[in-house]
Protein backbone atom coordinates (compact mmCIF):
# COMPACT_ATOMS: atom_id res chain seq x y z
CA UNK A 1 0.00 0.00 0.00
CA UNK A 2 1.40 3.44 -0.82
CA UNK A 3 2.13 5.46 2.32
CA UNK A 4 3.16 9.08 2.65
CA UNK A 5 6.82 9.85 3.27
CA UNK A 6 7.98 10.29 6.85
CA UNK A 7 5.76 7.66 8.46
CA UNK A 8 6.82 6.35 11.89
CA UNK A 9 8.63 3.01 12.10
CA UNK A 10 5.55 1.41 13.59
CA UNK A 11 2.62 2.18 11.28
CA UNK A 12 -0.59 2.33 13.37
CA UNK A 13 -3.72 0.40 12.51
CA UNK A 14 -6.66 2.63 11.61
CA UNK A 15 -10.10 1.62 12.86
CA UNK A 16 -13.62 2.98 12.47
CA UNK A 17 -15.33 3.79 15.77
CA UNK A 18 -18.33 5.90 14.81
CA UNK A 19 -20.95 6.04 12.06
CA UNK A 20 -23.55 8.65 11.17
CA UNK A 21 -25.77 9.64 8.28
CA UNK A 22 -28.20 12.45 7.59
CA UNK A 23 -30.53 11.75 4.68
CA UNK A 24 -33.94 13.44 4.83
CA UNK A 25 -36.46 10.60 4.93
CA UNK A 26 -34.13 7.97 6.46
CA UNK A 27 -34.41 7.57 10.23
CA UNK A 28 -32.23 4.53 10.84
CA UNK A 29 -28.70 3.59 9.73
CA UNK A 30 -29.83 0.04 9.01
CA UNK A 31 -32.09 1.27 6.23
CA UNK A 32 -28.99 1.84 4.09
CA UNK A 33 -28.38 -1.88 3.71
CA UNK A 34 -31.64 -3.70 4.47
CA UNK A 35 -33.68 -2.51 1.49
CA UNK A 36 -36.25 -0.64 3.56
CA UNK A 37 -35.56 2.90 2.37
CA UNK A 38 -38.80 4.85 1.91
CA UNK A 39 -39.57 7.27 -0.89
CA UNK A 40 -37.14 10.12 -0.20
CA UNK A 41 -38.81 12.65 -2.47
CA UNK A 42 -39.80 15.85 -0.68
CA UNK A 43 -38.77 14.53 2.75
CA UNK A 44 -38.50 17.24 5.40
CA UNK A 45 -35.12 18.32 6.72
CA UNK A 46 -35.13 20.13 10.06
CA UNK A 47 -31.57 20.32 11.38
CA UNK A 48 -32.62 22.35 14.41
CA UNK A 49 -34.30 19.24 15.84
CA UNK A 50 -30.90 17.56 16.12
CA UNK A 51 -28.50 20.48 16.47
CA UNK A 52 -30.58 23.20 18.12
CA UNK A 53 -31.14 26.57 16.45
CA UNK A 54 -28.00 28.33 17.63
CA UNK A 55 -25.41 28.88 14.90
CA UNK A 56 -27.50 27.57 11.98
CA UNK A 57 -29.10 30.76 10.68
CA UNK A 58 -26.58 31.55 7.94
CA UNK A 59 -25.35 28.01 7.17
CA UNK A 60 -26.02 26.49 3.75
CA UNK A 61 -27.83 23.19 3.34
CA UNK A 62 -24.65 21.17 2.79
CA UNK A 63 -23.10 22.44 6.02
CA UNK A 64 -26.27 21.67 7.98
CA UNK A 65 -26.42 18.14 6.56
CA UNK A 66 -22.75 17.63 7.41
CA UNK A 67 -23.18 18.92 10.96
CA UNK A 68 -26.07 16.49 11.52
CA UNK A 69 -24.24 13.40 10.25
CA UNK A 70 -21.06 14.37 12.08
CA UNK A 71 -22.90 14.78 15.38
CA UNK A 72 -24.47 11.33 14.93
CA UNK A 73 -21.06 9.78 14.24
CA UNK A 74 -19.50 11.44 17.30
CA UNK A 75 -22.33 10.23 19.51
CA UNK A 76 -22.01 6.73 18.07
CA UNK A 77 -18.27 6.82 18.86
CA UNK A 78 -19.03 7.94 22.44
CA UNK A 79 -17.29 11.28 21.86
CA UNK A 80 -18.47 14.73 23.01
CA UNK A 81 -20.46 16.90 20.60
CA UNK A 82 -19.36 20.26 22.01
CA UNK A 83 -16.03 21.93 21.34
CA UNK A 84 -15.37 22.70 24.99
CA UNK A 85 -15.71 19.06 26.05
CA UNK A 86 -14.01 17.37 23.09
CA UNK A 87 -11.44 14.66 23.88
CA UNK A 88 -7.85 15.49 22.83
CA UNK A 89 -9.05 18.23 20.49
CA UNK A 90 -5.47 19.16 19.54
CA UNK A 91 -5.05 15.77 17.83
CA UNK A 92 -8.59 15.49 16.42
CA UNK A 93 -8.90 16.47 12.75
CA UNK A 94 -11.57 16.86 10.05
CA UNK A 95 -11.57 15.75 6.41
CA UNK A 96 -14.63 16.57 4.29
CA UNK A 97 -15.52 15.44 0.78
CA UNK A 98 -17.94 17.52 -1.30
CA UNK A 99 -17.83 18.76 -4.88
CA UNK A 100 -21.07 20.74 -4.92
CA UNK A 101 -21.53 21.75 -1.30
CA UNK A 102 -21.69 25.54 -1.48
CA UNK A 103 -22.33 25.87 -5.23
CA UNK A 104 -25.75 27.41 -4.68
CA UNK A 105 -24.25 30.20 -2.55
CA UNK A 106 -21.48 30.86 -5.08
CA UNK A 107 -23.94 31.05 -7.97
CA UNK A 108 -26.28 33.33 -6.00
CA UNK A 109 -23.49 35.81 -5.25
CA UNK A 110 -22.20 35.71 -8.83
CA UNK A 111 -25.70 36.47 -10.10
CA UNK A 112 -25.99 39.45 -7.74
CA UNK A 113 -22.60 40.81 -8.78
CA UNK A 114 -23.47 40.40 -12.48
CA UNK A 115 -26.98 41.85 -12.31
CA UNK A 116 -26.79 44.39 -9.48
CA UNK A 117 -23.12 45.05 -8.76
CA UNK A 118 -20.80 43.99 -5.94
CA UNK A 119 -22.15 46.61 -3.53
CA UNK A 120 -25.44 44.69 -3.35
CA UNK A 121 -23.94 41.41 -2.15
CA UNK A 122 -24.75 40.31 1.38
CA UNK A 123 -21.84 40.21 3.85
CA UNK A 124 -23.57 37.20 5.40
CA UNK A 125 -22.95 35.20 2.21
CA UNK A 126 -19.24 35.99 1.99
CA UNK A 127 -17.99 33.47 4.60
CA UNK A 128 -19.87 30.71 2.78
CA UNK A 129 -18.12 31.25 -0.56
CA UNK A 130 -15.06 29.21 0.40
CA UNK A 131 -15.28 25.51 -0.45
CA UNK A 132 -13.68 24.83 2.94
CA UNK A 133 -16.64 26.30 4.82
CA UNK A 134 -18.05 22.84 5.64
CA UNK A 135 -14.81 21.49 7.11
CA UNK A 136 -14.15 24.66 9.11
CA UNK A 137 -17.72 24.73 10.46
CA UNK A 138 -17.37 21.14 11.69
CA UNK A 139 -14.02 21.87 13.31
CA UNK A 140 -15.32 24.95 15.14
CA UNK A 141 -18.53 23.31 16.39
CA UNK A 142 -17.04 20.01 17.53
CA UNK A 143 -13.59 21.14 18.67
CA UNK A 144 -11.33 19.49 16.10
CA UNK A 145 -8.07 21.46 16.07
CA UNK A 146 -5.75 19.16 14.11
CA UNK A 147 -5.61 18.75 10.32
CA UNK A 148 -8.54 20.39 8.50
CA UNK A 149 -8.97 19.37 4.88
CA UNK A 150 -11.60 19.76 2.16
CA UNK A 151 -11.49 17.30 -0.75
CA UNK A 152 -13.20 18.38 -4.00
CA UNK A 153 -11.86 15.64 -6.21
CA UNK A 154 -14.78 14.48 -8.33
CA UNK A 155 -16.48 11.09 -8.09
CA UNK A 156 -13.65 9.50 -6.09
CA UNK A 157 -13.60 12.25 -3.44
CA UNK A 158 -15.23 10.21 -0.69
CA UNK A 159 -12.80 7.31 -0.94
CA UNK A 160 -9.91 9.73 -1.39
CA UNK A 161 -10.97 11.51 1.80
CA UNK A 162 -10.93 8.24 3.77
CA UNK A 163 -7.45 7.46 2.44
CA UNK A 164 -6.08 10.93 3.20
CA UNK A 165 -7.53 10.84 6.71
CA UNK A 166 -6.04 7.40 7.38
CA UNK A 167 -2.64 8.57 6.14
CA UNK A 168 -2.82 11.65 8.36
CA UNK A 169 -3.23 9.34 11.37
CA UNK A 170 -0.48 7.02 10.14
CA UNK A 171 1.89 9.96 9.81
CA UNK A 172 0.92 11.18 13.32
CA UNK A 173 -0.77 14.39 12.15
CA UNK A 174 -3.73 13.28 14.26
CA UNK A 175 -4.88 10.38 16.43
CA UNK A 176 -8.54 10.70 15.41
CA UNK A 177 -10.27 12.20 12.36
CA UNK A 178 -13.89 12.93 11.55
CA UNK A 179 -14.47 12.13 7.86
CA UNK A 180 -17.64 13.54 6.29
CA UNK A 181 -19.05 13.26 2.78
CA UNK A 182 -21.90 15.57 1.81
CA UNK A 183 -23.76 16.62 -1.33
CA UNK A 184 -26.96 18.70 -1.24
CA UNK A 185 -29.83 18.64 -3.69
CA UNK A 186 -31.01 22.05 -4.84
CA UNK A 187 -31.94 23.69 -8.13
CA UNK A 188 -28.37 24.80 -8.90
CA UNK A 189 -26.90 21.34 -8.28
CA UNK A 190 -29.64 19.63 -10.29
CA UNK A 191 -29.12 21.94 -13.25
CA UNK A 192 -25.34 21.52 -13.36
CA UNK A 193 -25.26 17.77 -12.69
CA UNK A 194 -27.93 16.97 -15.26
CA UNK A 195 -26.22 19.14 -17.87
CA UNK A 196 -22.96 17.31 -17.18
CA UNK A 197 -24.63 13.89 -17.30
CA UNK A 198 -26.24 14.76 -20.62
CA UNK A 199 -22.76 15.03 -22.13
CA UNK A 200 -22.31 11.34 -21.37
CA UNK A 201 -25.74 9.96 -22.12
CA UNK A 202 -28.98 10.95 -23.81
CA UNK A 203 -30.70 9.90 -20.57
CA UNK A 204 -28.64 12.29 -18.46
CA UNK A 205 -31.62 14.57 -17.83
CA UNK A 206 -33.22 11.67 -15.89
CA UNK A 207 -30.39 11.62 -13.36
CA UNK A 208 -31.72 11.46 -9.79
CA UNK A 209 -29.69 13.73 -7.50
CA UNK A 210 -29.18 12.48 -3.94
CA UNK A 211 -29.35 14.71 -0.89
CA UNK A 212 -27.49 13.83 2.27
CA UNK A 213 -24.37 13.34 4.31
CA UNK A 214 -22.43 10.45 5.84
CA UNK A 215 -19.76 10.58 8.54
CA UNK A 216 -17.29 8.17 10.12
CA UNK A 217 -14.77 8.52 12.93
CA UNK A 218 -11.34 7.07 12.08
CA UNK A 219 -9.00 6.44 14.97
CA UNK A 220 -5.61 5.03 15.84
CA UNK A 221 -6.39 1.50 17.09
CA UNK A 222 -4.36 2.01 20.27
CA UNK A 223 -6.17 5.26 21.03
CA UNK A 224 -9.52 3.54 20.48
CA UNK A 225 -8.53 0.67 22.79
CA UNK A 226 -7.38 3.04 25.52
CA UNK A 227 -10.80 4.66 25.73
CA UNK A 228 -12.67 1.36 25.29
CA UNK A 229 -14.32 2.38 22.02
CA UNK A 230 -16.37 -0.10 20.00
CA UNK A 231 -14.65 -0.85 16.68
CA UNK A 232 -16.72 -1.48 13.55
CA UNK A 233 -13.96 -2.29 11.09
CA UNK A 234 -10.38 -1.59 10.06
CA UNK A 235 -9.26 0.61 7.17
CA UNK A 236 -6.85 -1.19 4.85
CA UNK A 237 -5.36 -0.54 1.44
CA UNK A 238 -6.33 1.92 -1.31
CA UNK A 239 -5.83 2.17 -5.05
CA UNK A 240 -6.51 4.82 -7.71
CA UNK A 241 -6.37 4.70 -11.50
CA UNK A 242 -7.00 7.55 -13.95
CA UNK A 243 -9.25 5.34 -16.06
CA UNK A 244 -12.57 3.50 -16.07
CA UNK A 245 -10.94 0.09 -15.47
CA UNK A 246 -12.43 -0.87 -12.12
CA UNK A 247 -10.65 -4.21 -12.13
CA UNK A 248 -7.29 -2.43 -11.87
CA UNK A 249 -8.26 -0.52 -8.73
CA UNK A 250 -9.88 -3.60 -7.18
CA UNK A 251 -6.76 -5.70 -7.70
CA UNK A 252 -4.55 -2.79 -6.68
CA UNK A 253 -6.37 -2.30 -3.38
CA UNK A 254 -6.61 -6.03 -2.70
CA UNK A 255 -2.87 -6.40 -3.32
CA UNK A 256 -1.48 -9.86 -2.70
CA UNK A 257 -4.26 -10.87 -0.32
CA UNK A 258 -5.74 -14.34 -0.65
CA UNK A 259 -9.26 -14.12 -2.04
CA UNK A 260 -11.25 -11.16 -3.21
CA UNK A 261 -13.60 -9.29 -0.84
CA UNK A 262 -16.98 -10.81 -0.04
CA UNK A 263 -18.80 -7.46 -0.33
CA UNK A 264 -18.44 -5.01 -3.21
CA UNK A 265 -19.92 -1.55 -2.81
CA UNK A 266 -20.27 -0.66 -6.46
CA UNK A 267 -19.75 2.77 -8.00
CA UNK A 268 -22.47 5.16 -8.99
CA UNK A 269 -24.87 3.75 -11.57
CA UNK A 270 -26.42 6.64 -13.54
CA UNK A 271 -26.67 6.53 -17.33
CA UNK A 272 -23.15 6.30 -18.71
CA UNK A 273 -20.15 3.99 -18.88
CA UNK A 274 -20.22 2.82 -15.25
CA UNK A 275 -22.55 -0.14 -15.94
CA UNK A 276 -20.05 -1.60 -18.39
CA UNK A 277 -17.23 -1.02 -15.92
CA UNK A 278 -19.16 -2.80 -13.16
CA UNK A 279 -19.75 -5.80 -15.43
CA UNK A 280 -16.03 -5.89 -16.16
CA UNK A 281 -15.23 -5.69 -12.44
CA UNK A 282 -17.54 -8.60 -11.61
CA UNK A 283 -15.58 -10.82 -13.98
CA UNK A 284 -12.76 -10.81 -11.41
CA UNK A 285 -14.88 -12.91 -9.04
CA UNK A 286 -15.82 -15.44 -11.75
CA UNK A 287 -17.64 -18.35 -10.07
CA UNK A 288 -17.85 -16.76 -6.62
CA UNK A 289 -19.59 -13.41 -7.13
CA UNK A 290 -19.62 -11.05 -4.15
CA UNK A 291 -22.57 -9.55 -2.41
CA UNK A 292 -23.08 -6.23 -4.20
CA UNK A 293 -24.43 -3.08 -2.62
CA UNK A 294 -25.36 -0.19 -4.92
CA UNK A 295 -26.02 2.79 -2.69
CA UNK A 296 -26.68 5.05 -5.65
CA UNK A 297 -29.78 2.98 -6.32
CA UNK A 298 -30.85 3.69 -2.74
CA UNK A 299 -29.87 7.34 -2.38
CA UNK A 300 -29.52 8.74 -5.88
CA UNK A 301 -26.30 10.30 -7.22
CA UNK A 302 -24.34 11.40 -4.15
CA UNK A 303 -21.16 12.17 -6.14
CA UNK A 304 -18.39 13.25 -3.74
CA UNK A 305 -20.21 11.84 -0.70
CA UNK A 306 -20.59 8.31 -2.09
CA UNK A 307 -17.33 6.89 -0.73
CA UNK A 308 -18.19 7.85 2.85
CA UNK A 309 -21.71 6.42 2.50
CA UNK A 310 -20.06 3.24 1.19
CA UNK A 311 -17.82 3.09 4.26
CA UNK A 312 -20.88 3.32 6.53
CA UNK A 313 -22.64 0.60 4.50
CA UNK A 314 -19.56 -1.64 4.65
CA UNK A 315 -19.33 -1.29 8.43
CA UNK A 316 -22.99 -2.19 8.89
CA UNK A 317 -22.56 -5.30 6.70
CA UNK A 318 -19.29 -6.31 8.37
CA UNK A 319 -20.93 -6.31 11.80
CA UNK A 320 -22.87 -9.35 10.55
CA UNK A 321 -19.86 -10.87 8.75
CA UNK A 322 -17.01 -10.36 11.21
CA UNK A 323 -14.23 -12.22 9.44
CA UNK A 324 -15.02 -10.89 5.97
CA UNK A 325 -13.68 -7.92 4.05
CA UNK A 326 -15.41 -5.35 1.88
CA UNK A 327 -14.23 -3.16 -0.96
CA UNK A 328 -15.73 0.19 -1.90
CA UNK A 329 -15.25 1.53 -5.43
CA UNK A 330 -16.20 4.87 -6.92
CA UNK A 331 -15.70 6.53 -10.29
CA UNK A 332 -15.83 5.10 -13.83
CA UNK A 333 -18.70 7.39 -14.74
CA UNK A 334 -17.86 11.07 -15.30
CA UNK A 335 -14.34 10.65 -16.65
CA UNK A 336 -12.73 11.28 -13.25
CA UNK A 337 -10.85 8.02 -12.71
CA UNK A 338 -11.63 5.23 -10.26
CA UNK A 339 -10.65 4.48 -6.67
CA UNK A 340 -11.09 1.50 -4.36
CA UNK A 341 -10.46 0.96 -0.67
CA UNK A 342 -10.51 -2.22 1.44
CA UNK A 343 -12.38 -2.30 4.77
CA UNK A 344 -11.82 -5.34 6.99
CA UNK A 345 -14.23 -6.81 9.51
CA UNK A 346 -13.40 -7.16 13.21
CA UNK A 347 -13.98 -10.41 15.10
CA UNK A 348 -15.52 -9.44 18.45
CA UNK A 349 -15.82 -12.99 19.77
Give residue 290's pLDDT.
Answer: 92
Q: What's 14-28+43-226's CATH class?
A: alpha beta
Give residue 291's pLDDT.
Answer: 93
Which secondary-structure segment (H or E) carries 292? strand 291-293
| CATH 1.10.3720.10 is the classification of domain 237-345 | no
CA distance 166 to 163: 5
Give residue 6's pLDDT.
Answer: 45
Residue 180 has, within 13 A of its CA and on its CB side, a CA count of: 37
Angle between helices 187-198 and 103-116 (to 10 degrees): 100
Task: List the one residue out of 84, 16, 80, 74 whose CA is nearest residue 234.
Answer: 16
Give residue 4's pLDDT.
Answer: 40
Tell me if 306 sits within 8 A of 341, measured CB to CB.
Answer: no
Give residue 273's pLDDT.
Answer: 58
Tell me if 326 sits within 8 A of 263, measured CB to CB.
Answer: yes
Give residue 278's pLDDT.
Answer: 83
Q: Which residues contact 325 (CB under 8 A, 6 or more apart)?
A: 236, 257, 261, 262, 263, 318, 342, 343, 344, 345
Give residue 112's pLDDT.
Answer: 85
Beta strands in 48-188, from DSSP E residues, in sequence order: 92-97, 148-151, 176-183
* Mean per-residue pLDDT pooled into runs of 10, the chain (349 residues): 47 94 90 78 84 86 96 97 94 96 85 84 80 94 96 94 97 96 91 80 73 97 94 96 88 87 88 70 88 90 95 96 94 85 89
Domain limits, the chain: 14-28+43-226, 237-345
Q: Is 105 left (phi over 0), alpha (psi -120 to 50) or beta?
A: alpha
Give residue 309's pLDDT.
Answer: 97
Task: Indicate the pTM of the whole model.
Answer: 0.93
On the question of a common fold for 14-28+43-226 and 237-345, the answer reads: yes
CA distance 205 to 201: 9
Give residue 119's pLDDT.
Answer: 80
Amino acid sequence: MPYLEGLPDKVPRIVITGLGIEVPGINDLAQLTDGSVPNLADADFNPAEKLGRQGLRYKDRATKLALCSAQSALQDASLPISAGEQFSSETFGVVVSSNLGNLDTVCKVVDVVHNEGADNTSPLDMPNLSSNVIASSLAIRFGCKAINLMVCNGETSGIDALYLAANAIRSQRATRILVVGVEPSNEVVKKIMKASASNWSSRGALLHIGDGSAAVVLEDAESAAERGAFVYAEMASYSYRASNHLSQTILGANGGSDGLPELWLTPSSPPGPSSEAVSEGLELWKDTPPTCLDLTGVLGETYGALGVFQCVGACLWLRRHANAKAIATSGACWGEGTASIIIRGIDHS
